[in-house]
Structure 1
Amino acid sequence: MTNSDSFPHADRRTALRATAGLAALSVAGCLGGGANGSDGSDGTADGDASGDGASADDGVDVDYAVERVAEGFENPWGIAFLPDDGRLLVTERPGRLSLVDPADGSTTSVAGAPEVFSRGQGGLLDVTIHPEFPDDSRVYLTYAATDDSGARDTIYSYGHRNPQAMAVRSETGRIWQCEHGERDGDEINVIERGGNYGWPVASEACNYGTDERVAPSHRERGDVVAPVHYWPCGSGGFPPSGAVFYDGDAFPEWRGDLFAGTLAAQYLGRFTVEGAGATDATVVEREPLLADRDWRVRGVDG
């Protein structure tokens, strides 16, 4: 963790502009097979997976622009706005934490980042700040390390295959989570304390290279929590990455919507949400944003 006293101050007008917006980290990559990504099929809590390959356009037309504010990162992963002045904390998987000023694109290394075990998908990953920042200047990081001595083992939920993102929905205070399936079967979940989310005894995915189901569907078992939204086997999937609920003022038409990046599909997905909990929430993918950029969208904040 680090302290906000070490952060130089940015221009307030820039802060207001940046804080109201929506930011996404992207990693340029080659367009592979099936890279048009998720079919947007609606796998809701009542099991209505359409699999028709189309998003549900809700007629919301928002004018936005893309601005590059910094570059030169190595495996950028997580991003978080500082609400007091609009600068950005950015993690890089090898273990670097940086502070980016959108006003001039300057990047400052932040001291005190932990030593991490960087290999494969491991390393320095996500970053978030305390809800009362800057009054409480704590910064929280997720990372892989080889020494966990003194750590307290606590399991809040289980049955997750490959979790990629968590976001708190301000209207309810509930934690939402995105994770990868095997072949397709990607999920959006509302997390309940002590909940079993199925893996490996329940899944909406197929085995790699086949059309055979990995396991029975969540809805065929009474002892697991079903995802509020999923991409069934054969849909093309939506390998998710970072996610955030948009609560800003710049785009009021989007307020309360869930935004999630996708890797292989290479776009930023927008989802509308109705209902509050793990059993009554309805999620609909509305539109793919930034789909013409060939970007693997990783971190999202706004």
Structure 2
Amino acid sequence: MTLSCTTSFENTDSAAGKPAGSRKLRALLVAAAFTLVAWQAQAQTSASRSFPSEKGEIVVSELLTGLDHPWSIAFLPDDSGALITERPGHLRLWQADGGLSEPIGGVPEVYARSQGGLLDIALAPDFAQSRRVYLSYAEQGDDGKAGTTAGYGVLSADGRKLENFTVIFRQTPKLSSGAHFGSRLVFDRQGYLFIALGENNQRPTSQDLDKLQGKVVRLHPDGRVPDDNPFVGKAPARPEIWSYGHRNQQGAALNPWSGKLWTHEHGPRGGDEINIPQAGRNYGWPLATYGINYSGLAIPEAQGTHAGGTEQPIHYWKVSPAISGMAFYDAGRFPAWRRSLFIGALKDQALIRLELDGDKVLREERLLAALDERIRDVRIGPDGYVYVLTDASQGRLLKIGLKE
């Protein structure tokens, strides 16, 4: 660091022929320079922390704090920032050089109680042209109960407003008193929109094909039902349904190697699981589960860990981490993480890394447990770093990478 100063004085030092006090000034400037350097180093240290891992030293940098229970993040193209949802109902734009925006206008009113509120966010596949932003959120009905709703608006050029917000999907009937909304939004390679839903804490509804609780639904981006959905023309089954028998789905992502949708869901007391939902298949809840009720008793409807006509998860946890957020790592930035699946954990306050071989989970590594923070969402940034949101009233956006 170089500091310079030009100053004139009326008094002089008769012995040296220099301005009086100049040596003191230089000493003060040098001291100030060293203090500034030390302060900057301390600030960088406090904003970044290192942790050991099986693949090398991990560096965690805080990019943002003060978020109100953030739920999801979507990166905008061309390094123009990211959109972040906050569960109480705010959508914000974060930019590395501009900080966090005020709440963006045009966001629909949400049911912000218990687990409800503004939830997932996804950009349209043609966002660069359409500027469509998709949101899922809890919405209250006339009787006070709530369900999951999804729609899209057009992000204004200045990023301050969602214009012409249009609802394309409503979970019906509305049965939630504040629990188990899900939800995650994923576009596949053909442009279909999948919405992973919770069962509103109403167990039997996951098996009811005339209801949209505990389902994965598949839609065109404008909300129309694709003609080849598995239950089209099979009333009273709902034509939106892609798969059923799910509990409370908190993560969904498209596998970049197979192109298949993966989802994960909370079990009750135990039994968190990962599934690869296939058209028309039944994923078991509450007939088959690896968990028990919160009371310690068996789930009343459960036939065991297996039930006829239902699919087994590809991976499950006997003890629930309370998984949330999910992202496949296919970036070139950190080759040691290739073929990994990152999952957030709320109860266990960790970032879970699963090593994959095709559709098989080979092993698990727990990361960042020393942070003692609930991890709500996990995404891979365009720069190849892993980004997570922590779930708190002073929630944070963290950037995570291997030391290079």
TM over 0.5: yes
Cα distance between partner residues in 2 of 1:75 and 1:285: 30
Aligned to 1:139: 133
* Structure 1: stretches of 5+ with no match in the other structure: 1-58, 276-280
Aligned to 1:37: none
More displaced stretch, 148-157 vs 71-80: 148-157
SS in 1 for 2:336: helix
Cα distance between partner residues in 2 of 1:134 and 1:262: 32
Q: CA deviation at 1:86?
A: 5.4
Instruction: Confirm or deny that 1:200 pairs with 2:283.
Output: no
Taking structure 1 as reference, are residues 237 and 190 closer, same or farther at Cα in structure 2, changes over 3 Å only? same
Cα distance between partner residues in 2 of 1:174 and 1:150: 23
C-alpha contact 2:287 2:307 (8 A) present in aligned 1: no
Instruction: Confirm or deny that 1:298 pairs with 2:376.
Output: yes
Cα distance between partner residues in 2 of 1:169 and 1:76: 24
Cα distance between partner residues in 2 of 1:292 and 1:110: 34
Taking structure 1 as reference, are residues 160 and 65 closer, same or farther at Cα in structure 2, changes over 3 Å only? same
C-alpha contact 1:178 1:187 (8 A) present in aligned 2: yes
State the identity as a percent: 43
Aligned to 2:268: 182
1:82 to 76, 80, 89: 76
SS in 2 for 1:261: strand
1:159 to 226, 241, 245: 245
Aligned to 1:18: none
C-alpha contact 1:62 1:251 (8 A) present in aligned 2: no
Whose helix fraction is larger, Structure 1's or Structure 2's? 2
Aligned to 2:314: 228
Q: Which amino acid aligns with 1:299?
A: D
Deviations 1:249-283 (A, max 9, x none): 321221231111001100000012222xxxxx211
C-alpha contact 2:87 2:118 (8 A) present in aligned 1: yes
Aligned to 1:243: 326
Aligned to 2:365: 287
Aligned length: 235
Taking structure 1 as reference, are residues 83 and 271 closer, same or farther at Cα in structure 2, changes over 3 Å only? farther
SS in 1 for 2:375: strand
Aligned to 2:345: 262
Cα distance between partner residues in 1 of 2:124 and 2:168: 22
Q: Which amino acid aligns with 1:90?
A: I
Cα distance between partner residues in 2 of 1:205 and 1:105: 43
Q: Which amino acid aligns with 1:126?
A: D
Deviations 1:117-174 (A, max 9, x none): 1111111001121234323422211111135787476222111111111111111111
Work out which structure has the larger RCO, using CA pairs closer than 8 Å and 6 or more positions apart in sequence. Answer: 1
Taking structure 1 as reference, are residues 150 and 172 closer, same or farther at Cα in structure 2, changes over 3 Å only? closer
Aligned to 1:216: 303
Instruction: Confirm or deny that 1:98 pairs with 2:100.
Output: no
Taking structure 1 as reference, are residues 270 and 93 closer, same or farther at Cα in structure 2, changes over 3 Å only? same
Deviations 1:71-93 (A, max 9, x none): 21111111122232152211011
Q: Which amino acid aligns with 1:121?
A: Q
- Calculate the aligned-residue CA RMSD, in Å: 2.2
Q: TM-score, normalised by structure 2?
A: 0.54
SS in 2 for 1:71: strand
Deviations 1:92-118 (A, max 9, x none): 111100111134533343222222111
* Structure 2: stretches of 5+ with no match in the other structure: 1-52, 142-148, 150-166, 170-222, 224-237, 381-404
Q: CA deviation at 1:213?
A: 6.1
Q: Which amino acid aligns with 2:75?
A: F
Q: CA deviation at 1:204?
A: 0.8
Cα distance between partner residues in 2 of 1:150 and 1:300: 25
Q: Which amino acid aligns with 2:95?
A: D
Cα distance between partner residues in 2 of 1:249 and 1:87: 21
Q: TM-score, normalised by structure 1?
A: 0.71
Aligned to 1:39: none
Taking structure 1 as reference, are residues 150 and 163 closer, same or farther at Cα in structure 2, changes over 3 Å only? closer
Q: Which amino acid aligns with 1:110?
A: I
Cα distance between partner residues in 1 of 2:257 and 2:106: 34
Aligned to 1:26: none
SS in 2 for 1:69: strand
